[in-house]
Amino acid sequence: MVKDQHVIANLRGGWSVRHTGAARATRVFDTQEDAVEFARDIARKERSDLYVHRRDGTIRERSSYGNDPFPPRDKE
């Protein structure tokens, strides 16, 4: 089962990395940049998606590191 990674604001002012469906954070960071770097490494290793959320909970960025069902076509 692929576990997508989410970077979300936590209640104490930092940023949490969680996988989809997790009740607890995998790890907590002071900055969003550090949290994204950590989550990106996990997403690459697990070939999953990375979702970066804003403080209000909306998704700011999505990156896919898994098998893309619609890969880009070469222009040649």
Q: Is residue 55 part of a domain?
A: yes
Q: Is residue 50 part of a domain?
A: yes
Name which of 19, 40, 22, 27 is nearest 10 in CA terms: 27
Q: Is residue 59 part of a domain?
A: yes
Which distant-in-sequence residues (6+ apart) come within 8 Å of 73 by Cβ? none
Query: Residue 42 belongs to what domain range?
Result: 5-18+27-64
Q: Is residue 76 part of a domain?
A: no
Q: Is residue 75 part of a domain?
A: no
What is the percentage of the chain residues whose pLDDT exceeds 70?
86
The bridge status of strand 49-53 relative to strand 59-64 is: antiparallel
Q: Where are the alpha helices (DSSP H) in 1-76?
A: 32-46
Q: Is residue 73 part of a domain?
A: no
- Domains: count for the chain: 1
pLDDT at position 69 is: 66
* pLDDT tens digits, one per residue of 60-74: 999 999 766 666 776
